[in-house]
């Protein structure tokens, strides 16, 4: 009887231990999703580099980049699942890959979690009224 009671008492620990083992599995939804310290749109606006060769082409669109947030918060496996132009896709992937996140957790244990971010790319607006630092301002 003591063995059965002890077995029943320890079985939840065994089940919990099985669920938290490192399987390398990538989750899409977990109890505590990964978080980014800061504002993602602000980060993307300040880190995305519009490729100079595409400025003249006036290429616009939305690139959707999917990625995996690793257990240590690094981004791996980033790729474009919705493409605009190869050079713009590459810039979006580089921007997302440089991010550092707080990992997602399942049962209190950090796990790998898949995510996606859409990046809407519009041609840069060049303000013709701005002053080039190398030229004096116009006299009025």
For residue 27, list its beta bridge partners.
Answer: 113
Residue 20 domain flag: no
Cα atoms in the 13 Å half-sphere on the side-chain side of 137: 5
Worst-scoring range by mean pLDDT, 19-28, 36-45, 68-77? Answer: 19-28
pLDDT tens for 10-25 read 444 444 444 555 568 9
Residues in the chain: 140
Range of the domain at 109: 36-124
pLDDT at 94: 96
Distance, in Å, from the CA atom of 108 to the CA atom of 105, rounded to the nearest integer, reads: 5
pLDDT at 125: 61
Residue 21 domain flag: no
CB-based contact 86:121 (threshold 8 Å): no
Residue 40 domain flag: yes
pTM for the structure as a whole: 0.71
| CATH number, position 58 | 3.30.1150
Residue 36 clears pLDDT 80, i.e. is over it: yes
Residue 88 domain flag: yes
Mean pLDDT (whole number) for 96-122: 95
Residue 78 domain flag: yes
pLDDT at 6: 43
Give the total number of structural domains in the chain.
1
Residue 47 clears pLDDT 50, i.e. is over it: yes
CB-based contact 121:50 (threshold 8 Å): yes
């Amino acid at each position: 009887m003591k063995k059965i009671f002890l077995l029943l008492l320890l079985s939840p620990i065994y089940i919990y231990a099985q669920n938290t083992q490192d399987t390398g599995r990538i989750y899409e939804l977990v109890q505590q999703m990964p978080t980014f310290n800061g504002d993602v749109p602000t980060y993307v606006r300040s880190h995305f580099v519009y490729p100079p060769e595409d400025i003249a082409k006036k290429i616009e669109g939305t690139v959707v980049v999917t990625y995996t947030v690793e257990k240590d918060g690094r981004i791996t496996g980033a790729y474009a699942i919705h493409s605009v132009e190869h050079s713009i896709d590459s810039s979006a992937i580089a921007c997302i890959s440089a991010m550092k996140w707080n990992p997602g957790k399942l049962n209190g244990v950090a796990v790998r979690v898949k995510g996606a971010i859409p990046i809407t790319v519009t041609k840069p607006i060049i303000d013709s009224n701005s002053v080039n630092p190398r030229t004096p301002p116009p006299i009025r």
